[in-house]
Amino acid sequence: YIFGDADSELVMTKAHIAKAKALAIALPDPSSTRILLKSAREMNPRLDIVARSHSDREIDLLTQLGVTEAVQPEFEAALEMGRQILSTLGENNQEVNSLVQDIRTDRYISVRNSV
C-alpha cells in the first residue's frame, strides 16, 4: 500500500498507475473522487476504475469522466442485507443471487437513464 494524497502526481507515480490494471476509488469527497478519476484516466487510459458514487446524479458524471463502474455503498449494503435475510429464510441461493444481480442492474441502468 501507499500512504498519501491520491491527488498528488507523485503518489500516483509511486503507485505505478501508468502500468496498473485496476484502481478502486472510495474517497468520501465527490470532488476528490472526480480529480483522482481524471488524473488516473490521463495517466492510464486502459485502467479499470471502480469508484464510489455519492449520489444518483454522480453515477452519470463519473461514467462520463471514464469510470468503469460506479458503486453506491448504501444501495449495495441494502442488497446484501436482503440477500442475507432471504438466504436465512431458506430461499435458494442461486435464485437469490440472480435476483440481487437483476435488481442491481436495473437500479444502475434506471439511475443513468433518469439523469
Confidence of residue 113 (pLDDT cuts 50, 70, 90): low
39-46 long-range contacts, Cβ below 8 Å, gap at least 24? 39/7, 39/9, 39/12, 40/12, 41/65, 41/66, 43/12, 43/17, 43/18, 44/17, 44/18, 44/19, 44/20
pLDDT at residue 42 greater than cutoff 60: yes
Rounded average pLDDT over 49-53: 95
**φ, ψ (nearest 5 deg) of residue 50:** -110, 125
Distance CA 76, CA 4 (A): 27
Rounded average pLDDT over 18-31: 91
Q: What is the mean pLDDT of the chain?
A: 88
- Please report, rounded to a whole number, the percentage of residues in the chain having pLDDT higher than 70: 96
Per-residue pLDDT of 54-83, as tens digits, reads 888 898 899 899 999 999 999 999 999 999
pLDDT at residue 1 greater than cutoff 90: no
The predicted pLDDT at position 114 comes to 61
**Cβ-contact 68, 44 below 8 angstroms:** no
pLDDT at residue 110 greater than cutoff 90: no
